[in-house]
Amino acid sequence: MKLINRRLYFDYNATAPLSESVINYLRNGAFVFGNPSSIYTEGREARKIISETFDYLRLLFRIPNEGHEVFFHSGATEAINSLVKGMAMYASSQGQKFHFFYSAIDHSSVVKQALHLPLLGHEAHAISVDSNGEIDIEVVIQKIKQQKGLKLFNFTQVNNETGVVWPLDLAIRVKHETDCFVHVDAVQTPGKIVNWDNPHYELDSYTFSAHKFGAMKGVGFTILSQDMPWIPMHMGGGQQKGLRAGTENTHGIYSIKLALEDLTRTFDAQAVKMHKDTLEASLEKMLGAAGQITAKRAGHRNLNTINITFNHEIKIELLIAALDLAGLSVSSGPACSMGMPVASRVLLEMGFTERMAKNSLRISIGPRSSAEEMARAWEIFSTVLPKYLDRP
Ligand SMILES: Cc1ncc(COP(=O)(O)O)c(C=O)c1O
């Protein structure tokens, strides 16, 4: 047990450990079990904790009382699928064509919509990025203006692999200068940028995923303008005003409130940035000509993410295993397939070679990672990493 506790977990962009209040809630075990749609006592108890979460989100994110809805779902993958296909379905019902604009470095749940939309008679338009993972918003605006019909632009505020931040002002310009609806993938924002709790409601929708900020897995929420023209994908018992039918994940939803309360109570943006910057500077020095910090020159980067690309074949899976053995969990940017790294789609889009896109390391620290943990992580890096940098 002690050994497990001594491990260093630096893969917060993949998922976050459960926050303290969520652990206490689960440990306590005094769960309400009623169906939140039932009108008797047990049902009302379940409804109460969902309502508390709902009210808390309205307060925390300053969601306007009029014109915006919040609904819970099983996570961002579901929400993005529901919104995109739901808008496509709405367009079809109106005899319109639906155009979906997305960045080639968005999460797979966004990018893969391009496979489904043509099957439904609609169109998806990928927007490329430069070597720093940035988009040219003028190009986006021109692309959108060229199309007629119902349009949606997916704007990923923080990239999960590189930590590059796209300021919301860019999305607001798209909204002002085109007739496009905008969905913000805000999954990687809580605890990872300043002002993560301050959405701009000129934009039409924001999606968050609970497991990225210390709540339970398989649950998330979307804030949505009532003007969004879509037909929700989940039909059923009419829960959540029909925005997402299905019996609510009561405990998962309540864990969102608990985890966000913990996060807002303890979040210290300066400390997270200082920890990240210090480790990054040391790693950069150690890398020398062997590698570099990815997107170092991007206009805006988040507080917690360091992505390293190596200039020679490094056998990234062996490096990750060696760090793991030493007690440190970090990931290669791209996912692994059967334990072998695959080239990162994001890095390939940014212009990296196949070899470099296969050899990247992502370190994503947590909002409560301590100075002592950072020092121990550096000790591990400085012992393990040089062995992998020596090769020609
Ligand atoms: C930017 C981004 N969008 C969407 C998702 C999908 O989230 P979920 O795990 O809730 O389906 C992720 C998960 O890694 C992500 O990082």
Residue where a domain terminates, one of 265, 288, 305 = 265
Whether residue 8 lies inside any domain: the answer is no
- Per-residue pLDDT at 378 exceeds 80: yes
More confident residue, 74 or 340: 74
Task: From 121, 181, 189, 112, select the one nearest 152 (Cα to Cα).
Answer: 181
Same domain, 89 and 204: yes
Tell me whether residue 322 is in a domain: yes
362 Cβ below 6 A of ligand 1: no
Q: Are residues 142 and 223 in the same domain?
A: yes
User: Are 200 and 340 in the same domain?
Assistant: no
Share of the chain above pLDDT 70, in %: 96
- Whether 199 is covered by a domain: the verdict is yes
Instruction: Tell me the per-residue pLDDT of 256-315, one tens digit each, with 9 for 90 and over.
Output: 999 999 999 999 999 999 999 999 999 999 999 999 999 999 999 999 999 999 999 888
Q: 339 and 216: one domain?
A: no
Q: By residue range, what is the domain housing residue 276? A: 268-389
CATH number at residue 178: 3.40.640.10
Q: What is the dihedral of CA 186, 207, 79, 162, to 10 degrees?
A: 0
372 and 239, same structural domain?
no
| Whether residue 290 sits in one domain with residue 261 | no
Distant-in-sequence, close-in-space partners of 392: CB < 8 Å, separation ≥ 6: 312
Shared domain for 152 and 300, answered yes or no, is: no
Contact 156 CB / ligand 1 (< 6 Å)? yes
CB of 103 shorter than 6 A to ligand 1: no
> Do 188 and 104 lie in a common domain?
yes
- Ligand 1 site-directed mutation target among 106, 107, 213, most atoms within 8 Å of CB: 107
Same domain (yes/no): 117, 248: yes
Q: Locate the ligand 1 atom nearest the alpha carbon of residue 220 and give its number.
A: 10
Does one domain contain both 77 and 113? yes
pTM: 0.96
Indicate the number of domains in the chain. Answer: 2
- Residue 300 DSSP one-character state: -
Per the structure block, which two tokens stand in for 320? 């990750």
Of 205, 234, 265, which residue constitutes the final position of a domain? 265
- Write down the residue that tokens 């990018």 correspond to: 111
7-36 pLDDT, tens digit per residue, is: 999 999 999 999 999 999 999 998 899 999
Q: Is the CB of 76 under 6 A from ligand 1?
A: yes
Residue at which a domain ends, from 248, 265, 282: 265
Q: Is 209 in the pocket of ligand 1 (CB under 6 A)?
A: yes
- Measured in Å, residue 77 CA sits from the centre of ligand 1 at 6
Write the CATH number for 307. Answer: 3.90.1150.10
Same structural domain, 292 and 384:
yes
- CA dihedral 63→217→18→275, nearest 10 degrees, is -70
Band of pLDDT at residue 2, cut at 50, 70 and 90: very low
* 161 occurs within a structural domain: yes
